[in-house]
Amino acid sequence: MVKQPSHAIVADIGGTNARFSRVALDTLALDNVAVYPCAQFATLADALTHYMQQQSLTDIKHVAIAIACPVNGDHVSMTNFHWQFSIKAMQQQLGLAALNVINDFTAVAMCLPALSSEQKIKVGAGTAQTGKPMAVLGAGTGLGVAHLLPVDGRFIALPGEGGHVDWAAQNEQEWFINQMLLKEYGHVSPERLLSGPGLEAIYKALALYRQQVAEPLSAAEIARLALSGQSSLAVDTVQQFFASLGSVAGNLALTLSTFGGVYIAGGIVPKLLPLLADSEFRARFEAKGRFSAFNRQIATYVVTAEQPGLVGAAVYLNQFLASNEYGI
């Protein structure tokens, strides 16, 4: 057995930005963090090479990458960006001793046990129980979903594509949104609402529903107008976003009885925190008919850690190396 490396490189690759960091495997401390627009590079290998050269880290040969798409074999193809690659070919191209590629929300799920009290904000009632299943969902360019199971002192992430199941309308306004999106896409998933493009779609749908004239706005502009209170349509868009988020989060809680808590990650919700407390998020989380009392016991949190994907990729790699599944 070769001595375990002291440092590795971890990456969190979303549909918009690529985040990289060096990690100390004994403490999981991150440094040399860099963020690049994905569009700046033709391939992920190019982005990783640029990072390693820019940070003078070309001597590090162990890399773990969390990426926003399914990872079900050697070939990886991103859902919301054009990058695709072979894991084996990329490892050989870059001369790496190990290249672990995992779903981005596998990484976010793996970070949950490592979160400090300062890196998460509790929303509503419920109590997180140690040693129980957890769930995480996060809105950004898309909607990521995963569960985490504690097993014999280790953690097993259950990645999935829960952002692409059917979205269920619960009132007339949501039925209207559903019909608009159904005509446009042929299938309406939670990701069509709970994402940056989803905020834009809700804004457009509410304007049509209320027969208002409204110019299309970016998700960032909708968020700005909602936070400042300058646009009632923007405020209502965010409120609809949080209501739907609560319903979907509540479904995840029921699916695996996540008494370890349900965690909201991603880039959108932390920016909209001032509007969360007065929203229907927690009420819709608990509104599960005969199982409302069940969900009322489950805690919900917003993850405010700056780089949960990088931390989770580091936890995953550290656990992987320690498991003797890789002969080093």
Question: Could you tell me if 152 and 319 are in contact, meaning their C-beta atoms sit under 8 angstroms apart?
Answer: no
Interval 214-252: pLDDT, tens: 999 999 999 999 999 999 999 999 999 999 999 999 999
Sketch the domain layout of the chain as residue ranges. Answer: 7-103, 116-304
Report, as an integer, the average pLDDT of 193-215.
Answer: 96
**Res 1 pLDDT > 70:** no
Report the predicted TM-score, pTM, of the whole model to 2 decimal places. 0.86
Nearest to 268 by CA among 144, 139, 136, 142: 139
Report, as an integer, the average pLDDT of 8-27.
Answer: 93
**Res 254 pLDDT > 90:** yes
Q: What is the assigned CATH class of domain 116-304?
A: alpha beta
Per CATH, the number for 7-103 is 3.30.420.40
**Res 325 pLDDT > 70:** no
As a whole number, the mean pLDDT across the chain is: 94
Question: Is residue 228 helix, strand or coil?
Answer: helix
Virtual CA dihedral for 148, 149, 155, 158, nearest 10 degrees? -50
At 324, the pLDDT band (50, 70, 90 cuts) reads low
Interval 63-103: pLDDT, tens: 999 998 889 999 999 988 999 999 999 999 999 999 999 99
Which helix (H) or strand (E) segment is 236 a member of? Answer: helix 232-256
At 327, the pLDDT band (50, 70, 90 cuts) reads very low
* pLDDT score recorded for residue 124: 95
**Res 152 pLDDT > 60:** yes
